[in-house]
C-alpha cells in the first residue's frame, strides 16, 4: 500500500520548523534504516564549527528539514498539490529525505580523494542492495528508480526536480534557516512562510507570484551573506585545507604506516566501506594518527584535533609567498604538507550565477518572466563582477607580521 | 600579569548569549588547551539526541555559556563585582569555564564503570600535569589550587561557589537555556536578564531581590519541566540503559575479544586514556563491536548505532515482568543483557529538593529568607510527594501488546 | 451559501501567529463592520501601558488571534474537526471573532458606571440592529442566535463553548501569548503547538491527552505569572484607580460642567452611544477636562494624561492610613477623590480556582480525569491559600517615607 | 549636577532591546514631561495599521529605543565613549530621546497643512517655554541650545550628529527593528549587536570597521525592503491620501461647519494647540465629522474610521483615468475630493541615495573609504535606476474591473 497514511501522523520536534510531520509509513521506515541513521554522524557544516562553535548539527537534522519543507509544499501550496499525483508526492518526499544520504564526512575534500561524488553515492544507496532500497521497493518496485530520477534531475515531471534542486528549492531553504539558527547568526533568515504562500505552478514549473518577489530577494541576499560569513569563512576553510594536507601526507606514508580507521577513505567505492566512514571514525583515526610515528602526519593530526589552525594571507604577492616558503624551510616544515593555496570564487557563492536555472516570476499579467528581469535588486547583483578570493595557508610559526589577528582567533 | 585584560576583547558568536566575551588572556589560552578542545567531542545531552534529533550540541558550547554568565555576573551585577577582588574574579571565571572538563562520554554510565566521578577527574585535570595546569600556573602559581577549590566547593569565599554551583548558579542557567534552544522546546526558557538584574549579595552570599522572585519561580518550573520532558525522557533513558548493558557484556567477553578503542573505558584513571576517550572513539568502538564475533555484543552495538531502541513498561507488575522474561528466553535473548530496570526518582529531578542549599531571598525589609518561605509556589511544590518512575526496558520483539506507541517512536 | 469558502483564503500578517487565515466570506465581511473596526480603538490592556510602555495593542488584534486559534482547532485537530458540523464550525469561528466586541474602554471601570457588562453588550451587538447582525443574518437567519449562544455559554453542544470560554480556551491562549509579546516579558509564553497537538474530544468535551499535561502545567504557570507581573501590576492598577476617581468626580460636577465627549459614558445602554465611546474619545475628553474649571477634575485628568500616577502602600496599617489622610487634608486634597483602596484577590488571578470548570485529562487508560487529580504541580497549587493584595493609593505628595521606589517609577 | 548618575539605574522593559536603561536623572525627568508623554498618543506608523493590523505602536516607544541605542553606543563602543566628553554624552542622549518630539499625528500630511515641519517644531519644544526646556535648562543653562544643535545638524562635533542622524544612525536602527517586530515581518531585522561591535571613530567621524561591512549591507537591504513592503504599502498610502482629501474638504467648509477638535490643525504654530493635537483628538474629530451635515466630509470621515479605503491603479493610462472620472461624476462624487494621484519615488525609499552622506568604511589598511566603493552589493544597488511609483486612488464603487484584489483587502 504505497504511501498510505499513518493512522496518526507522527511528529518530531524541530527548532527550525516546530515539528516535522511524518505522514507516510514509507518515510517512517526510511528514517529507521542504518543508511539514514548514519547521517546523525556526519556534521552538516564540516569545518565551520571551528569558527562558529555551535555549528555542530548533522545532516540528519537537515534532511528531515528538507523533507518537512517539501511536505508543506505538497500539502499547503494548492498549485503544487494539484499538479502532483499521489504517487509523485510520495516520490518527491522520499527524494527530499534522501537527497544527502550519499554524503561522507567533509564531503568536498573526500570527493577529491575518492573520485566519487556524493550524488553518485546517493544513487547507489537508493538503487543497490541497501535497507533504503528494500524499504522503497517493498512499498512499490518502481519507487527506487523514480526517487533516484528526481535526485538526478532526470524526472519526466520537472516540477519534482524544482522542489528538490533549483534556485528556489527546499534544500537551500532549510540549510539557510538551519545554519543561521545553529550558528546564531541572523544572516540566513528569510520569510519562509511568505515564500510558501507565494509559490505557484505555471506551465508545469515552479514560479513565485510577483507579490512574493521581495521575499525572494531577501532569500537571495541571505544566501549571499551566508556564503561569505559562514560557509567560506577563512577559519572554516583552514580546517578543510589542513584535512586535505593530512590526507596527502597519509597517502604517501600509508604503505608503511597503516591506520585501519582511515583506510576506508581509500575504499569509498565499496558501499560497506562508505557506510562505515563517518565523522566519528575519521576523528578517531586522526587521534590514532596523532600518536603515530610519522612526525608530519602526527603533527597535522594534532593540529586538527586541538585547533592549532593555519594562518593565511589574502591575495599574497610573490614576495610574501617567497618569504613564507623560506621560513617553512628553515623550520623544517616541507611546503608540500604545510603550504596550500585555496581559491573560493564567486562562481561558488554568488547566489544567482550559481545555476543555469533562473527563478521564474509569475507576473500580474499572467506571464512568466525571469527574476533578474523583474527585480531591480537581482538585476543589479547580476552586474557584480565575479570575484575570487585567493588565500595562502601556512602554520602560524611561519607567519610574517600577522595581518590577521582573527587567524589565531575565533569568529567575530 | 595574571588576568590582565586583552587589548581588545575577543568575542565568539553564540546563539544563546549573542556573544561570548573573552576579556582575559588566561581564558583565551585555556580555550586552546587540548583538554578543553576535547569537550567539542563530548555531547552535552548523552542519549537525548535519540528523541530530540537536534540535541547534538557539545559540552564545549555549554562551558563557554557558563563562563559568559559568570562574566556578566561579575561585570554587570554591582553587588557581585563589588564583593570580589580582581584575583577572585579571574578564579571564578576559570572555574566556570573548566567546571565540566572532567566529563567523559555519557558520564553517568561511565562513572559506574570507572569508579571515578567527573568531579574528581576535573580536579586532576586542573591540578596534575596538563596544559590547563600549565596555563593557570603560568598566570599565577596559586591559581590551579584556587580554581579547584571553587569547583570543589571548598573556597574560603562561599560567594564564588554560589556562582558556579548552587540552586541559582550559572551552570543550571546556561544548560536550561541552551538545551531548550537546541531541542526546540520552550520549557527551559526563563528570564535570564531579569534574574541578573535582581541578584544581590548579602552577608557574603548570593541572594535574589524580592521583586525578582517571580522570575526565579519561572526558572524553577523550567527545571522541573526540562527534567521530565527532556533529561529523563524514556527514549533517552533507553539509549543509556542499552549502553550499560553493552558494557556489561563487553566486560564479560573482553578477555577473549579485545576492541582496542573500548579499552580506554577500563583505564579512565590514567589521564591520557581519559583524554583520548570521547564520544567519537566510543561510537567508533561500537561500530567495531557491531561486526565482532560475539553475537550479543554485536547485536547491542548495532541497536545503539541504528536506533533499534528497547521498549519499556512503566511500573511493571510481576506478571508482566514474568511474561517478558519468558518471551526473551524463547527468543534466546539472555535477560542479563536484554532486560534492565531503570529508576528515575524525584530526588534527581525535583528542582527544589535537589540540593541541601536553599535560594535566599533579600526581602524589602532587608532580611534574607528562604525562597520556600517567601514563595507560595515553591512552598506548594515542597508539598509534592517525591515520586519515582520505575521502568523496565527490553527489546521490542519481547513486547506485550505495546502500550507505548512512542516507544518505537520519536519525540512528541 | 453560509460559510462557503473564499476562492483563495486571505491572510493577515500577525506577529503572534504568523498569519491569520480568513477562509470564509462571512468572517471577511464581519471584519469590515464598523462595530468590529471600532475594536482598533480599544486598547487590550487598559492601564498596563503605563508600566510596560509597549503594551499599546488593541482588542482588534486579540480578537483576530482568538479567531485564528479556533480556526486551527477546527481544521488541524482531527477530534474537533470530526465532532463539529460545517455549520457549527462557522458558528464557533464567528463567536471567536466577536467575543470581545462589547468591550468599552477600560472595561472593568466602566461596567461599574454603566451597570452593563461587556458580555451583555456583546449579545446586543450580535442580536440587535447592527452591521454585525446583518452580516450574520444574511449568511443564515439563525446565525446571530447561534453565535450569541456560544458566547453566552448556552450552546446545546458544550464543545463549542469549551473552545471559546473554558480553562483551556482560545481566548486565554491568545491573550497570554500576545500580551507577553507586546510587553516584551517572557512570562506568558507556553507551547501552543504542543497543546493543539494534544487536544482531544471525549464524551463531547474538550480534553488534553495525558502526554500533553506538562504543556498545560506550563500554560497555567504562564497565567499565574502574567496576572501578578502584568495584569495586576500596582502601577497599572494606579491608572485604573485614578480613572475611577476621575469619574466619581465627574459624576458629581457634571450637572454644572458638561464635557460632551464624556457624556457617552452615562448613556452606554444606547448602542449608538456605546459604539461612539472608545479610548480615543475618552482620552480627548480627559484633555478637555484637564482645562476645565473644576480644580479637582482638571487635576485628576492632568495626572492621567501626563503620568503623574498615585503612589501606594501595600497592606497599610491604620496608623499609616491615618497619617496619609492627615496629609491630604493639609494639602487640601479631599480624600473622597484622592484616596482609594484597591483589592486584588487570588480569586481573580489564581489560574485554577478562577472557574468552576476543571481541565479534563484524557488518560492512557481511556478515562477522563481532572487535571488537579493528575498533575502533582496543579494539585500542589491547589493547596496555596487564596491570597489577597490590599493597596492604598494616594498622590505622591501625601506620601510617607516612600517604601516603593518603583512607585514614581517605571516597570522593572 | 548635570548628567550625574542615578543611584541605581532604572530600567524599562522593552521587547526590542530587552531593557531601556535610564542612567541620568535628566533623562528620567524628560520622560515625565507632558510634551514627551504626549508621544504615547502619536502612532509611529501613521496609516500602516490599516494593512498590518498590529502596527499600533507609538513614537514614545521608538524614542526610548533610539535613546537606548545611543546609550549603548556611548557606553559600549570604546571609540565613541572615548571621543565624547561627559557633557557631550548627556547632550547626545537628550537629543536621541527628543528627536521626534515635534511630530504631530500623520506628520507628513500635516506638515502640508500647517507649513511647519516637525523638525522646526522639535526645535521650538526644546528652546521655548516648555517643561522640556525647563528640565534641560535646570540641569545646565546651555543644554537646550546644545541639544537643539545636535538635532538640527549644526553641532560643532559632527560625531554627535552622526549618531542621531546619518546613514547609520540610531534612529533608523531602532525604527527598522521596532517596526519589523510590531508588524510581524522579518524584513527589518539585521544584526544590531554586530554593527555596534564594528563601529569606530576615525578623523572624528563615525565609521564601520571593514569586517562589519556585511552586516551593514544587510541593514541597507532591510531598509529597502521595509520601504516597499511596509512604509509605502499602497493600502497604507490610501489611508493617508484619504486623510489629505478629508482636510481639503474641511478647509473648504470650516467657515460654515466648525468642528472644534479639528481646528487645532489650523493653529499648529501655537505651541499649546500643537501639544493638544494628537491621534486621539484627530480621530475623535473624525467621529464628529462623520455625523456632520456636510455629506462629503461625513462620507470621507466614515470611510477613514471604518476602513472603507479607496482602491487604486498603478501607473494609470489616460483612458483609465478618464473612465474613472466619468464614473465618479455619474455617482455624484466630485473628483476634487474623491480622486487623488500619489507618487512614491525611489528618492524617498532607495536606502542609499536618500542622503547626501555616505557610510564610511574603516579599511584594514587604516584608510576610510565610502561604502559604495568597498561593497559590491551597495555599488550594484547604486546602478539601479531611480524608480517612481505613480498611483491613482478613488472609491471602489468607481472601479474598473479591479486589478487589485488586495485593494479591498488586507496585507499579504
Q: CATH code at B14?
A: 1.10.3210.10
The mean pLDDT of C252-266, rounded to a whole number, is 92
Residue of chain B nearest C406, judged by CA positions: B211
A133 domain residue, yes or no:
yes
d(C-alpha D176, C-alpha D170), whole Å: 10
Is the pLDDT assigned to residue C5 strictly greater than 60? no
The pLDDT, as a whole number, for residue A346 is 52
Residue bearing cell 505622591? C396
A341: which strand partners? A392
d(C-alpha B235, C-alpha B237), whole Å: 5
The mean pLDDT of B295-310, rounded to a whole number, is 97
Q: Are residues B182 and B249 in the same domain?
A: no
- Say if C56 is an interface residue toward chain D (CB within 8 Å): yes
- Say if A244 is an interface residue toward chain B (CB within 8 Å): no
Task: Read off the pLDDT band of C2 (50, 70, 90).
Answer: very low
Residue of chain B nearest D191, judged by CA positions: B18
Q: What is the DSSP letter of B43?
A: B
D406 domain residue, yes or no:
no
- Say if A322 is an interface residue toward chain C (CB within 8 Å): no
The answer to which of B373-382, C323-332, C340-349 has the lowest mean pLDDT is C340-349
The mean pLDDT of C217-242, rounded to a whole number, is 91
Q: Find chain C residues with C-beta within 8 A of D14's C-beta.
A: 53-54, 184
> Do β-strands B205-209 and B199-202 pair in parallel, antiparallel, or remain unpaired?
antiparallel
Beta-carbon contacts below 8 Å between B and D = 8
Q: Work out the widest C-alpha separation in chain C, in whole angstroms.
A: 71
Q: Work out the widest C-alpha separation in chain D, in whole angstroms.
A: 71
Q: Find chain C residues with C-beta within 8 A of D411's C-beta.
A: 11-13
D177 domain residue, yes or no:
yes
* DSSP codes, C43-103: BTTGGGGGTSTT---BHHHHHHHHHHHHHHHHHH-HHHHHHS-HHHHHHHHHHHHHTTTT-
Q: Are residues C125 and C242 in the same domain?
A: no
Q: What is the DSSP letter of C341?
A: E
Q: Are residues B180 and B100 in the same domain?
A: yes
B213 domain residue, yes or no:
no
Q: Hey, what's the cell of B160?
A: 564564588
Q: Find chain B residues with C-beta within 8 A of C228's C-beta.
A: 214
pLDDT tens string B194-214: 999 999 999 999 999 998 998
- Say if D185 is an interface residue toward chain C (CB within 8 Å): yes
Q: Find chain B residues with C-beta within 8 A of A49's C-beta.
A: 40
d(C-alpha D149, C-alpha D135), whole Å: 17
Residue A207 contacts residue A361 (beta carbons within 8 Å): yes
- Say if A401 is an interface residue toward chain D (CB within 8 Å): no
Is the pLDDT assigned to residue C85 strictly greater than 60? yes
In a 13 Å sphere around the CA of A154, the CA atoms on its Cβ side amount to 8
Q: Hey, what's the cell of A59?
A: 545532516
Name the phi and psi angles at C303, rounded to 5: -60, -40
pLDDT tens string B133-153: 999 999 999 999 999 999 999
Are the Cβ atoms of B197 and D18 closer than 8 angstroms? no
Q: How far apart are the first and last CA of chain C?
A: 53
Interface with B, mutate which of A6, A15, A48, A66 (most B CBs under 10 A)? A15
Q: What is the complex's ipTM, to 2 decimals?
A: 0.93
> Domain end: A177, A207, A232, which one?
A232
Q: Are residues B164 and B37 in the same domain?
A: yes
Residue A239 contacts residue A47 (beta carbons within 8 Å): yes
Q: Are residues D197 and D271 in the same domain?
A: no
Domain count, chain C: 2
Within D84-157, where are the H helices?
86-98, 107-114, 118-127, 131-139, 143-152
- Say if B224 is an interface residue toward chain C (CB within 8 Å): yes
The answer to which of A405-409, B305-309, B323-327, C83-87 has the lowest mean pLDDT is A405-409
The pLDDT, as a whole number, for residue D402 is 43
pLDDT tens string A8-50: 779 999 999 999 999 999 999 999 999 999 999 999 999 999 9
Q: Are residues C260 and C135 in the same domain?
A: no
- Say if D52 is an interface residue toward chain A (CB within 8 Å): no
Residues 357-386 of B with CB under 8 A from C: 364, 376-377, 379-381, 383-385
Q: CATH code at A319?
A: 1.20.1250.30
d(C-alpha B177, C-alpha A54), whole Å: 14
Are the Cβ atoms of D224 and A383 closer than 8 angstroms? no
pLDDT tens string D256-295: 999 999 998 888 888 999 999 999 999 999 999 999 999 9
* pLDDT top residue among C218 and A5: C218
Mean pLDDT computed over every residue of chain B:
89
Residue D164 contacts residue D170 (beta carbons within 8 Å): yes
- Say if A217 is an interface residue toward chain D (CB within 8 Å): yes
Q: Are residues B238 and B342 in the same domain?
A: yes
pLDDT tens string B10-29: 999 999 999 999 999 999 99
pLDDT tens string C151-196: 999 999 999 999 999 989 999 999 999 999 999 998 888 999 999 9
pLDDT tens string D214-264: 899 999 889 888 988 899 899 999 999 999 999 999 999 999 999 999 998
Closest CA to D99 of D84, D121, D116: D121
Closest CA to C61 of A196, A17, D410: D410
Q: Are residues C153 and C243 in the same domain?
A: no
What three-state secondary structure class fits A400? Answer: coil
Closest CA of chain A from B52, distance in Å: 7
B380 domain residue, yes or no:
no
Residue A289 contacts residue A296 (beta carbons within 8 Å): no
pLDDT tens string D32-43: 999 999 999 999
pLDDT tens string A57-79: 999 999 999 999 999 999 999 99
Burial class for A153, CB neighbours closer than 10 Å (0-12, 13-18, 19+): middle
C262 domain residue, yes or no:
yes
Q: What is the DSSP letter of C359?
A: P
> Do β-strands D18-22 and D10-14 pair in parallel, antiparallel, or remain unpaired?
antiparallel
Name the percent of chain D lying above pLDDT 70: 91
d(C-alpha A211, C-alpha D409), whole Å: 14
Q: Are residues B27 and B130 in the same domain?
A: yes
* Residue B183 Cα distances to A61, B50, B369, C347, C355, angstroms: 11, 11, 35, 37, 34
Residue D235 contacts residue D406 (beta carbons within 8 Å): yes
Find the domain containing C219 and state its range. 10-201+214-227
d(C-alpha C340, C-alpha C317), whole Å: 14
* Residue D193 Cα distances to A112, A207, B272, C227, D384, angstroms: 39, 36, 41, 33, 29
C135 domain residue, yes or no:
yes
B246: which strand partners? none
Is the pLDDT assigned to residue A125 strictly greater than 60? yes
What three-state secondary structure class fits D140? Answer: coil
pLDDT tens string A314-352: 889 999 999 999 999 999 999 999 999 998 765 444 544
Q: What is the DSSP letter of C231?
A: I
* pLDDT top residue among A2 and C294: C294
* Residue B286 Cα distances to A40, B29, B273, B274, C56, angstroms: 15, 34, 17, 18, 58
Residue of chain D nearest C306, judged by CA positions: D34
Beta-carbon contacts below 8 Å between A and C = 8
Q: Are residues B148 and B31 in the same domain?
A: yes
Burial class for C125, CB neighbours closer than 10 Å (0-12, 13-18, 19+): buried
The mean pLDDT of B295-309, rounded to a whole number, is 97
Q: What is the DSSP letter of C197?
A: H
Closest by Cβ to A380, choosing from D197, D211, D384: D384
Q: Find chain D residues with C-beta within 8 A of A219's C-beta.
A: none
In a 13 Å sphere around the CA of C24, the CA atoms on its Cβ side amount to 23
Residue of chain D nearest A184, judged by CA positions: D191
Chains that touch D (3 or more CB pairs under 8 A): A, B, C
> Domain end: A215, A232, A249, which one?
A232
pLDDT tens string C184-221: 998 888 999 999 999 999 999 999 999 899 899 999 88
Is the pLDDT assigned to residue B39 strictly greater than 80? yes
- Say if B60 is an interface residue toward chain A (CB within 8 Å): yes
> Domain end: B138, B169, B194, which one?
B194
* pLDDT top residue among D295 and D116: D295
Residue A86 contacts residue A3 (beta carbons within 8 Å): yes
Residue bearing cell 442566535? C145
Q: Are residues A141 and A188 in the same domain?
A: yes
Are the Cβ atoms of D218 and A225 closer than 8 angstroms? yes
Q: Are residues B61 and B186 in the same domain?
A: yes
In a 13 Å sphere around the CA of A125, the CA atoms on its Cβ side amount to 30
- Say if A197 is an interface residue toward chain C (CB within 8 Å): yes
A410 domain residue, yes or no:
no
d(C-alpha B276, C-alpha B104), whole Å: 10
Is the pLDDT assigned to residue B291 strictly greater than 60? yes
What three-state secondary structure class fits A172? Answer: helix
Name the phi and psi angles at A368, rounded to 5: -105, 125
d(C-alpha B156, C-alpha B85), whole Å: 13
- Say if B37 is an interface residue toward chain A (CB within 8 Å): yes
Amino acid at each position: 500500500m504505497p504511501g498510505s497514511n499513518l493512522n496518526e501522523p507522527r511528529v518530531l520536534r524541530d527548532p527550525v520548523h516546530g515539528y516535522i510531520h511524518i505522514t507516510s509509513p514509507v518515510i517512517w521506515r526510511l528514517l529507521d534504516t542504518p543508511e539514514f541513521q548514519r547521517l546523525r554522524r556526519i556534521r552538516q557544516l564540516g569545518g565551520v564549527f571551528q569558527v562558529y562553535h555551535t555549528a555542530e548539527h548533522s545532516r540528519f537534522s537537515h534532511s528531515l528539514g528538507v523533507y518537512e519543507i517539501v511536505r508543506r509544499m505538497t500539502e499547503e501550496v494548492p498549485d503544487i498539490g494539484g499538479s502532483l499525483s499521489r504517487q509523485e508526492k510520495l516520490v518527491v518526499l522520499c527524494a527530499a529525505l534522501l537527497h544527502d544520504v550519499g554524503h561522507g564526512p567533509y564531503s568536498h575534500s573526500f570527493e577529491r580523494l575518492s573520485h566519487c561524488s556524493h550524488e553518485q553515492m546517493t544513487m547507489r544507496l537508493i538503487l543497490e542492495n541497501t535497507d533504503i532500497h528494500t524499504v522503497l521497493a517493498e512499498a512499490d518496485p518502481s519507487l527506487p528508480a523514480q526517487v533516484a530520477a528526481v535526485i538526478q534531475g532526470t524526472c519526466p515531471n520537472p516540477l519534482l526536480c524544482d522542489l528538490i534542486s533549483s534556485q528556489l528549492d527546499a534544500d537551500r531553504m532549510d540549510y539557510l534557516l538551519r545554519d543561521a539558527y545553529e550558528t546564531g547568526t541572523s544572516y540566513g533568515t528569510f520569510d519562509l512562510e511568505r515564500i510558501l504562500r507565494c509559490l505557484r505552478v505555471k506551465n508545469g514549473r515552479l514560479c513565485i507570484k510577483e507579490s512574493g518577489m521581495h521575499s525572494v530577494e531577501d532569500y537571495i541576499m541571505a544566501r549571499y551573506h551566508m556564503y561569505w560569513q559562514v560557509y567560506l569563512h577563512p577559519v572554516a576553510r583552514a580546517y578543510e585545507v589542513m584535512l586535505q594536507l593530512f590526507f596527502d601526507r597519509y597517502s604517501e606514508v600509508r604503505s608503511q604506516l597503516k591506520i585501519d580507521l582511515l583506510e576506508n577513505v581509500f575504499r569509498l567505492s565499496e558501499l560497506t566501506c562508505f557506510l562505515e566512514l563517518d565523522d566519528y571514525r575519521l576523528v578517531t583515526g586522526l587521534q590514532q594518527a596523532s600518536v603515530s610515528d610519522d612526525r608530519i602526519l602526527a603533527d597535522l593530526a594534532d593540529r586538527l584535533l586541538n585547533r592549532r589552525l593555519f594562518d593565511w594571507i589574502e591575495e599574497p604577492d610573490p614576495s610574501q609567498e617567497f618569504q613564507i616558503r623560506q621560513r617553512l624551510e628553515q623550520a623544517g616544515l616541507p611546503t608540500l604538507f604545510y603550504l596550500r593555496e585555496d581559491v573560493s570564487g564567486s562562481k561558488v557563492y554568488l547566489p544567482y550565477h550559481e545555476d543555469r536555472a533562473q527563478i521564474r516570476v509569475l507576473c500580474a499579467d499572467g506571464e512568466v518572466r525571469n527574476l533578474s528581469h523583474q527585480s531591480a535588486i537581482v538585476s543589479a547583483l547580476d552586474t557584480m563582477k565575479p570575484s575570487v578570493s585567493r588565500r595562502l595557508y601556512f602554520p602560524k610559526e611561519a607567519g610574517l607580521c600577522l595581518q590577521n589577528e582573527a587567524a589565531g582567533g575565533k569568529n567575530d
